[in-house]
Amino acid sequence: MLTYTLKRLLATLPVLFVVSVAIFLIIHITPGSPAATILGMEATSAQIEAFNEEMGYNRPLIEQYTSWVSGIVQGDFGDSLFMNQTVLGAVSQHIGPTLSLALLSQLIAIVLAIPLGILAAHKRGTILDTMLMSFSLFGMAVPNFLLALILMLILGVNLGWLPVAGYAPLSSGLINHLTTLLLPALSLGAIQAALITRMTRSAMLDVLSLHYMRAARSKGLKERTLLIKHAFRNAFLPILTVIGQTFGTLVTGAVVIETIFNIPGLGQLIINSIVRRDYVVIQGVVLIVTLIYLFINLVIDLLYGVVDPRVRLDRKE
Amino acid sequence: MTLLKVEQLHTHIHTNKGRVSPVRGVSFSIEKGEVTGVVGESGSGKSVMSQSLIRLLDREGNIEYNGQIHFDNKDVLALSEAELRKLRGNDISIIFQDALSSLNPLYTVGNQIVEAIRTHQSLSKKTARKQAIEFLRLTGIPSPETRFNSYPHELSGGMQQRVMIAMALVSKPKLLIADEPTTALDVTIQAQILDLIIQLNTEFEMSILFITHDLGVVREICSSVKVMYLGQIVEEGPTETIFNQPLHPYTKLLLASMPKLNSDRTEPLPAITGTVPSLSNIPKGCSFSTRCPYATDLCREQEPPMFSNDGQRVQCWLYDEEKGGWLD
Ligand SMILES: Nc1ncnc2c1ncn2[C@@H]1O[C@H](COP(=O)(O)OP(=O)(O)OP(=O)(O)O)[C@@H](O)[C@H]1O
Ligand SMILES: [Mg+2]
């Protein structure tokens, strides 16, 4: 298991490299020089010169890249061009709401989707299965901002059960925190839930048709044992992969949902930074989100090893 | 004493391409302690027939049965889901052809054997573990205590099959269905597994339904044999009779295509010409008539009944005395 863990860790390094280069180049592939874009049309050449000097944009690219990376390794993501703040400061200020939102939507999605997916597979071909599948198709088709507006209208405005917008941090109490997040999390989690339901169903069906399921049934096991112990644990790995891969969609969705519900999360930070062309912040946020994404997928890879003995096998070849 | 009595069993499977019937009117019985062989080409319905005995396919699709299955005073086709669970793995166990794909890859073999034990007996985990190790030892697995904690993929094919046998035996079933249990193994291991099965047959007085392509094995271990073709038993009887005096043209061809130890290896084995018709296109009359060298118009028109002679039964018009047909 230790070798496996190390191998997985090493495997993320090339990915990190490619991603960091891509993010680094954001500034340089946008048309015009960074200075011109940031300072605007009216900037004099002296101003541009001074700006480039200050930011180091006149140095060779390789040199800029290495100094950027070495800064990051030491925890220095640079300073915002417009806010009187470091990138890391701005991110840490905004990351809490986004993480809460993402985790809660993911949780809602998983708790809802996995049992429904198992049920659909178990009752395949029945009306229940067809209903669940049409429902999940619907869930995937409705854009999350539309769902957000509908939920807002029904649960927030008409019934008045939940606050329509705003955000209460965890420090203001768990209940408060959750009630403000519930609507956004539902809107954001719906697509995720639909996706995981379908994935669970198809992964379960794949496993249910395998030979060892018939062999297990021939032992006289209860249907529940067959479904959960034998089928689900095997189907869990592909489901887990989908959960990891769709984390990216979740963050993208969060940007939209945060704007609609006026939640001061990373989404707002990113949108504001894009409007202000604050490239340094954009770079930092994108890089941090990528790091989180890689981390989640690393954890999932390690879980593979925990669940499946064939994966953690340290083959000596 | 008769343990199992099957009468006119039909198994129909409804698929989205229509209904197929892999088992079409099978009747036979198995005595206590008897070792019965079932032979027939691939697709003749051996597996579906044997799995129908515990209704194993029920949950996998839309299955319909006709006929009767009586096992030990139980009307199997009338049993509830819960009663079936008591039958499966307890009174009737199955060993499958491919042991590795029959074991769940995520659990140790010990876990899976203990599960089989505790499904049918209320024992503590500890006692069940002891028993499991005993059964592993019985099947000849070296250092069963260590093997108990192995995952299926860590064992060799022969060991995996022994694990499957141990698992099938934990409840001392009255009937063991062995569905080509040695096909995936090499010859020496094959012989060991066969010896083990026979030893268990005598030790536990267990009846065995042995499905195989290998007629040599049948001759070695089975006291009676059934020949299946397209979902029907076309001939059955005591092993010696069937081997010395096969009646059905299909049985004769099967026996002729069997390699003999002292035969001239350069001569190619005679093969049965043609292919097995598909289930969706079953011939009218005798189902073997499309490939039978002796087929007459009658064979192609009307399905032959079973003719019996001295414990040997054959479904072939050639043996209809009224029509004057004994083959010389
Ligand atoms: N679930 C199913 N749905 C549709 N047809 C099936 C199903 N299971 C089996 N069959 C068909 O039933 C027929 C008999 O299959 P079966 O597996 O019993 O043959 P067999 O005699 O065991 O062959 P083999 O020697 O290859 O194991 C085959 O034509 C097969 O295609
Ligand atoms: Mg078979």
User: pLDDT for B195-221, tens place per residue?
Assistant: 988 888 988 889 999 999 889 899 999
Please tell me if residue A233 touches chain B, with a CB cutoff of 8 Å.
Answer: yes
According to DSSP, the β-strands at B35-39 and B92-95 are unpaired
Note the pLDDT of residue A309: 86
| Residue whose entry in the numeric block shows the structure tokens 């093997």 | B147
Q: Which residue out of A123, A126, A207, A212 would a mutagenesis test of the B interface target, given it has the greatest number of B Cβ atoms within 10 Å?
A: A212
Alpha-carbon span A198 to A109, nearest angstrom? 12
pLDDT tens track, chain A, 317 positions: 778 888 888 888 888 888 889 888 877 777 666 677 677 777 788 888 887 787 777 788 888 888 888 888 888 888 887 778 888 899 988 998 998 999 999 999 999 999 999 999 999 989 999 999 999 998 888 888 888 888 888 888 888 888 877 888 888 888 888 888 899 999 999 989 999 999 999 999 999 999 999 999 999 999 999 999 999 999 998 999 888 888 777 887 888 899 889 899 998 898 888 888 888 888 888 888 888 888 888 888 888 888 888 887 654 43
Tokens of A250: 């979740």
Inform me whether the pLDDT recorded for B140 exceeds 80: yes
Note the pLDDT of residue B286: 94
Strand order in the sheet with B62-71: B18-31, B2-15, B62-71, B74-75
Mean pLDDT of B116-133: 95
Inform me whether the pLDDT recorded for B45 exceeds 90: yes
Please tell me if residue B101 touches chain A, with a CB cutoff of 8 Å.
Answer: yes
| Residue A68, SS3 per DSSP | helix
Write the DSSP assignment of B148-190 as a string of letters: TT--GGGS-HHHHHHHHHHHHHTT--SEEEEESTTTTS-HHHH
According to DSSP, the β-strands at B92-95 and B175-179 are parallel
Which residues from A are below 8 Å from B85, CB to CB? 220-222
Mutation pick for ligand 1 pocket among B9, B10, B46, B180 (CB with most ligand atoms within 8 Å): B46
Which residues from A are below 8 Å from B87, CB to CB? 220
Q: Which helix (H) or strand (E) holds A101?
A: helix A87-122
- Name the residue among A196, A169, A163, A188 with its Cα closest to residue A258: A188
| pTM for the predicted model, two decimal places | 0.85
Torsion of CA B304, B305, B311, B312, to 10 degrees: 10
Mean pLDDT of chain B: 90
What residue owns the CA closest to ligand 1's atom 12? B22
Instruction: Specify the amino acid at residue A226.
Output: L
Note the pLDDT of residue B113: 97
Alpha-carbon span A203 to A152, nearest angstrom? 34
Alpha-carbon span A276 to A82, nearest angstrom? 8
Using the mean position of ligand 2's atoms as its centre, give its distance from the Cα of residue B56 in Å.
14
Q: Which helix (H) or strand (E) holds A103?
A: helix A87-122
Alpha-carbon span A289 to A275, nearest angstrom? 19
Provide the pLDDT confidence category of residue B289 given band limits of 50, 70 and 90.
very high
Q: Which helix (H) or strand (E) holds A186?
A: helix A174-208
Note the pLDDT of residue B262: 58
CB contact under 8 A, A220 and B87: yes
Please tell me if residue B172 touches chain A, with a CB cutoff of 8 Å.
Answer: no
Provide the pLDDT confidence category of residue B328 given band limits of 50, 70 and 90.
very low
Instruction: Specify the amino acid at residue B46.
Output: K
Could you tell me which residues come within 8 angstroms of residue A194 by beta carbon, excluding any fewer than 6 positions away?
A113, A135, A136, A137, A138, A139, A140
Could you tell me which residues come within 8 angstroms of residue A125 by beta carbon, excluding any fewer than 6 positions away?
none
Return the minimum-mean-pLDDT range out of B17-21, B25-29, B261-265: B261-265
More confident residue, B227 or A30: B227
What structural domains does chain B harbor? 2-91+173-326 (3.40.50.300)
Alpha-carbon span B110 to A82, nearest angstrom? 64
Note the pLDDT of residue A119: 96
Residues with CB under 6 Å of ligand 1 are B 13, 15, 20, 22, 40, 42-48, 61, 279
Note the pLDDT of residue B266: 59
Q: Quote the percentage of chain B above a pLDDT of 90.
A: 70
- Name the residue among B52, B72, B75 with its Cα closest to residue B63: B52
Chain B closest-CA separation from residue A304 CA (Å)? 11
CB contact under 8 A, B96 and A215: yes
What structural domains does chain A harbor? 87-275 (1.10.3720.10)
Nearest ligand for residue B212 CA: 1
| Cα-Cα-Cα-Cα dihedral sign, residues A72, A76, A81, A87 | positive
Could you tell me which residues come within 8 angstroms of residue B149 by beta carbon, excluding any fewer than 6 positions away?
B108, B110
Note whether A250 and A106 are within 8 A (CB): yes
Write the DSSP assignment of B190-217 as a string of letters: HHHHHHHHHHHHHHHT-EEEEE-S-HHH
Alpha-carbon span B161 to B182, nearest angstrom? 8
Alpha-carbon span A282 to B206, nearest angstrom? 74
Please give the C-alpha separations between residue A251 and each of A91, A115, A286, in angstroms, as whole numbers. 14, 24, 11
- Start-end of H helices in A262-315: 266-275, 279-307, 309-312
Note the pLDDT of residue B264: 56
Alpha-carbon span A242 to B215, nearest angstrom? 49
Neighbours of A24 (CB within 10 A): 17
Inform me whether the pLDDT recorded for B166 exceeds 70: yes
Residue A191 phi/psi, 5° resolution? -60, -45
Neighbours of A261 (CB within 10 A): 26
Inform me whether the pLDDT recorded for B75 exceeds 80: yes
What residue owns the CA closest to ligand 1's atom 8? B48
Inform me whether the pLDDT recorded for B116 exceeds 90: yes
Using the mean position of ligand 1's atoms as its centre, give its distance from the Cα of residue B23 in Å.
9
Q: Which residue out of B47, B48, B55, B59 would a mutagenesis test of the A interface target, given it has the greatest number of A Cβ atoms within 10 Å?
A: B59
- Start-end of H helices in A59-86: 61-73
